[in-house]
Amino acid sequence: MNLNASIIVRAVAMNELTATNTTRIIGKEFLVGRFNGIVFAFISSLIAGQWFDNLALGGVDPAVASSIVLTTITVVVGFFSFLRLGAIFLL
């Protein structure tokens, strides 16, 4: 998230982020982030599968296993809140 925030802040500071290209820039960042997420999830699943020989949740506490979901939601909501506040105050 820090790199995305830096890119957006730089774009706002350099007057490169306007009302007309905001959707395009955010969409591009979203697609790049989604692609990175899919690639790294695939690689991580291969590594975890080799490491543990079984990807089933058998015996794992659901509260512990769901921590990644909670972390992801927190980061995504924080990122879009940051963008929205920037748009409100700077555009």
Q: Do residues 7 and 82 lie in contact, with contact meaning Cβ atoms separated by under 8 Å?
A: no
pLDDT tens, per residue, the chain with 91 residues: 567 778 778 888 888 888 788 888 778 878 888 998 899 889 888 877 777 665 555 667 777 777 888 888 888 888 888 888 888 888 7
* Residue 10 lies in domain: 2-90
Model pTM?
0.47
Work out how many domains the chain is built from and give that number: 1
- Rounded Cα distance between 68 and 44, Å, is 13
Q: Do residues 16 and 90 lie in contact, with contact meaning Cβ atoms separated by under 8 Å?
A: no
- Rounded Cα distance between 2 and 79, Å, is 9
